[in-house]
Amino acid sequence: MKYDKWLIETYEGVVRALEAVLSKYSGHPKRLPAKRPTCKARAGDDTSFAPGSNVDAIEYLVARIRRLSAKIHEMRNATVDKEVLPYGFATCPNMEQAHELAYAARKQHSHGSKIQLAPGPNHVIWKNLSLPKETRRWRVFMGLVAVSALVAVWTVPKALIAVFLADLSKLGAILPTFQAELERHPRTWGAIQGILAPLVTTLFYLLLPTIFRRLSIYAGDLSKTERERGVARKLYVFFIFNNLIVFSFFSAGWKYAAAVIRAQSNQNLWSAIRNTQPFENLMGAFCDVSPFRLNYLLQRNLGAALDVSQLVKLGKD
């Protein structure tokens, strides 16, 4: 089975290579290059070309495709040691009949089977189709543990960003030397404060979907569509917890704590807590978080605008 998958993957790779060569060679059909593209034959490709020799790329790749195709058909027609797989595909004459069949069989689970519409071949995560149920359950559990650990680990830097980086005056409240520096260069530090905290958050959230995709594949998602839905759910939970709860409450809590620390210099702790107007200070602290939100949303919208305009093309699997 592993050898069969390797053959198919190799076959698809050679087909893509041939398509790239033909696309470059016949880009202008009326003005074909005088020389056909060439490449070096590799050892172990099982062709009639001598390894290491400079050969015609089109003929070489076509020969490889034919040999790989013959091997794939030979292996599929073999009846010895054929592995029984826990999944299968059925084709219908048209899409309407496929939907009718899937709808009629939606509640039927004969011998524990499940009938549903299949995604496109390029969207299937083939290595997960044959995972046993016990393995899938264990991987789903471990994926939840990994996501929970990631949320917990990111809470600490997010709290530090909320307390200090998003509002440098809070750091100046406990460091008089730094407060003097803020007062000497307010514009410079204002620009740093407005850019640095949203930038750090944005960079992390560019990396986060890749981590969640790998965890979803490890957990046994069967298709890329299912994987992306799981990634969207995880990102939503992660964003709500860290950006709304952790960031907002830590930021507001620290502003109130700083007010209590300043008031405590002239009175005891309990009197300082009562006299610093907790409700007004906390509501004011929540309002002070809004510049970070605005800057973060502007950066995210700018990234979305670049994606829509296709100024920078990035290939995603």
Which residues, 6+ apart, have CB-to-CB distance to 1 below 8 Å? 83
Backbone torsions φ then ψ of 56, nearest 5 degrees: -65, 120
Residue 107: what pLDDT? 81
Percent of the chain's residues with pLDDT above 90: 1
Query: 185, 269 in Cβ contact below 8 A?
Result: no
Percent of the chain's residues with pLDDT above 70: 67
Which range among 94-103, 135-144, 148-157 shows the weakest confidence by mean pLDDT?
Answer: 148-157
Residue 112: what pLDDT? 76
Average pLDDT, the chain: 76
Residue 315: what pLDDT? 46
**Mean pLDDT of the 104-124 span:** 81
Query: What are the pLDDT digits (tens) for 141-165?
Result: 998 898 888 888 887 777 777 666 6
Mean pLDDT comparison of 195-204, 210-219, 252-261, highest-scoring range? 210-219
Confidence of residue 170 (pLDDT cuts 50, 70, 90): low
- pLDDT at residue 104 above 70? yes
- Compute the distance between CA of residue 133 and CA of residue 146 in angstroms, rounded to an integer: 20
Radius of gyration of the chain (CA): 30
- Compute the distance between CA of residue 137 and CA of residue 105 in angstroms, rounded to an integer: 25
- Compute the distance between CA of residue 133 and CA of residue 114 in angstroms, rounded to an integer: 13
Query: What are the pLDDT digits (tens) for 259-294?
Result: 666 666 666 666 666 666 666 666 766 676 666 666
- pLDDT at residue 226 above 80? yes
């058909």: which residue's tokens?
Answer: 73
Mean pLDDT comparison of 21-35, 57-71, 172-186, highest-scoring range? 57-71
Q: Considering only CA atoms, which of 214, 254, 263 is closest in space to residue 234?
A: 214
- Compute the distance between CA of residue 121 and CA of residue 7 in angstroms, rounded to an integer: 16
Query: 143, 215 in Cβ contact below 8 A?
Result: yes
- Compute the distance between CA of residue 167 and CA of residue 186 in angstroms, rounded to an integer: 12
Backbone torsions φ then ψ of 39, nearest 5 degrees: -155, 170
Query: 159, 250 in Cβ contact below 8 A?
Result: yes
Query: What are the pLDDT digits (tens) for 30-68?
Result: 788 888 888 888 877 666 777 778 888 888 888 888 888
Angle at CA 150, nearest 5°, toward 205 and 134? 115
Pairwise pLDDT comparison (313 vs 178), residue with the higher score: 178
Residue 317: what pLDDT? 47
Query: 243, 198 in Cβ contact below 8 A?
Result: no
């549903």: which residue's tokens?
Answer: 116
Residue 292: what pLDDT? 62
Residue 266, SS3?
coil
Q: What does the DSSP 8-state code read for residue 223?
A: B
Query: 166, 193 in Cβ contact below 8 A?
Result: yes
